[in-house]
Structure 1
Amino acid sequence: MHTRDKLKQTALALFAQHGYEGTSLAQIAAETGIKKPSIYNHFPNKAALFLAIFEEVESGIVALIDDSLTRSHDLPTRERLERLIRSCATFIRREHQGVFYKRYLLFPPTDVATQVAAISNDNERRINAHLHVLFEDGRQAGELRALPEAQFIAAFYCLMDGLFAENFYYDADTFERRLEGAWAVFWAGLEA
C-alpha cells in the first residue's frame, strides 16, 4: 500500500475514534510509521488530509449505491430497494467509515465545514439521481403507489438515518431484526 493510502487509512480510523480536533498529524504519522514532516509530501495540512478522506468516503457511498442498483437492475423494485438499503446498512456497520461519515456530516470541523457541505451536497445530488431512477422505474412498473418523489427520497434518508442511530445502540443480531422490521413498514408505505 502506498504511503498516501496508508495515511488516509490511519487518519480515517483516528478521526473516527478521536475526532478531528483530538487527532494530531504527529499521531497519524506515528501510527503510519513515518515522521510527521513526511506527511507534507502527500498533504499540505491536516485539513487537506481530512477532506481527501471525506471525499473518498462520500464517493464510496455513491459508488455503493450505483453498484447495488446496477447489479439489481432486472429485479422487481422491492428487491432492488431492499438490496440498496442492506448495502447502505452494511456501510453503516463498517467500523470506521460509518462512524466517520455520520460524525462529520453532522459535526464537520469548523475550518472545513464549507467544503464538507459542498462535497456532501454534490454527492446527495448524485444519490438523488439514482433514487429518482429507482422511483420512476417502480412507478412505471406499477410497483410503487402514487406519492410524490420528494416524499420517497425523504423517507429513504430518514430510514437510513434511523438505521445509523440504531447501529450505535444494538449488537449485530438486534440491528438485523430492527432492520427487518423497519424495512417491512417502509415497504408497506410504498407498495402499490
Structure 2
Amino acid sequence: MGAKEIKHEAAFLFAERGYDGTSMSDIAKRVGIKTPSIYTHFKGKDDLFLSILEESAMSELVYVRQTFQQEHPFKQMIKDLFYSYVHRYREDVMLRFWIRTSFFPPHELEKKVVSKFNHYLDKLENELKETFQEAIIDKKINDIDPERTATVFVALLDSVFIELLYGGYESVNRRVHALWTFFWESLQTKE
C-alpha cells in the first residue's frame, strides 16, 4: 500500500471518528498493513492528517474551478455547485473529511487547520466574486455587489455543511432547496 491508499483510509476514519478517535493502528488495520508501515510515508499522525488536509483543500478548489469552466448556463452552474455538496458528501471521503475538520479541528492542530480553512475560504470567495462579476457584466444576474454575494453564498454553504453534519438527508435536501430558491431569486434580473 502506498501513501495514497493510506491517506484515503485515514481520511475516512478521521471523517467518521475525528482526529482523537482515530489511532495509527486503526488506520493500519483499515488499510491492511502493520502500523510501522505507515511511518514509511508519514512522520506521524499529525503529518498524515495535515497531508490529507492539504489535499482536500486543493481538491475542493479544483472542483469549484472545474464547475466554473463548464459550458452550462450561469444559473445551472451555480446551482450545480450549491447542490453538489449534498450529493458529494455521501460519496467523497475527502469532502467529508474537509467539512468535519473545518468545524471540529483537532485541538493540537487547530491553528494550522483554521489557517488552511481561512485561506481556502478566501480563495473560494475570490473565485465566486469573479464569477458573479462576469455574470453581472453579461447581464445574467442583477447588478449587485459581487463580493457580498460571494460571502453570502459561502455563508449558505456553511449552513448546508452544518446540516450535513447534524441532520438527515431529508432535512438537508429541504433546506438546500429553500436556500437555493431564496438566493437565486435575489440574483435574478427583472426582465
TM-score, normalization by structure 1: 0.87
In 1, the alpha carbon distance for the partners of 2:154 and 2:90 equals 16
Aligned counterpart in structure 2 of residue 108 of structure 1, from 105, 108, 111 = 105
What is the aligned partner in structure 1 of residue 49 from structure 2? 50
In 1, the alpha carbon distance for the partners of 2:18 and 2:171 equals 27
Between the aligned residues of both structures, percent identity stands at 28
In 2, the alpha carbon distance for the partners of 1:138 and 1:18 equals 41
CA contact 1:6–1:32 (8 Å) conserved in 2: yes
Residue 142 of structure 1 and its aligned partner are, at CA, apart by: 1.8
> 1:90 is aligned with what amino acid?
H
Aligned counterparts, 1:15-34, within 5 A: 15-34=14-33
Q: Secondary structure at the match of 2:153?
A: helix
In 2, the alpha carbon distance for the partners of 1:165 and 1:124 equals 16
CA contact 1:26–1:36 (8 Å) conserved in 2: yes
In 1, the alpha carbon distance for the partners of 2:138 and 2:182 equals 21
CA contact 2:11–2:97 (8 Å) conserved in 1: yes
Residue 61 (str. 1) matches residue 60 (str. 2): yes
Residue 155 (str. 1) matches residue 156 (str. 2): no
In 2, the alpha carbon distance for the partners of 1:177 and 1:112 equals 34
Aligned counterparts, 1:83-94, within 5 A: 83-94=80-91
RMSD across aligned C-alpha pairs, in angstroms?
2.0
Aligned counterpart in structure 1 of residue 120 of structure 2, from 113, 118, 123 = 123
What is the aligned partner in structure 2 of residue 170 from structure 1? 168
TM-score, normalization by structure 2: 0.87
> 1:152 is aligned with what amino acid?
T
In 2, the alpha carbon distance for the partners of 1:36 and 1:84 equals 38
> 1:148 is aligned with what amino acid?
D
> 1:13 is aligned with what amino acid?
F
CA contact 2:160–2:176 (8 Å) conserved in 1: yes
In the alignment, structure 1 segments of 5+ residues that lack a partner are none
Give deviations 1:51-96, integer Å, cap 9, x for gaps. Answer: 1111111111111101110013xx4422221122123333334364
In 2, the alpha carbon distance for the partners of 1:184 and 1:154 equals 17
Structure 1 runs of 4+ with >6 Å offset: none
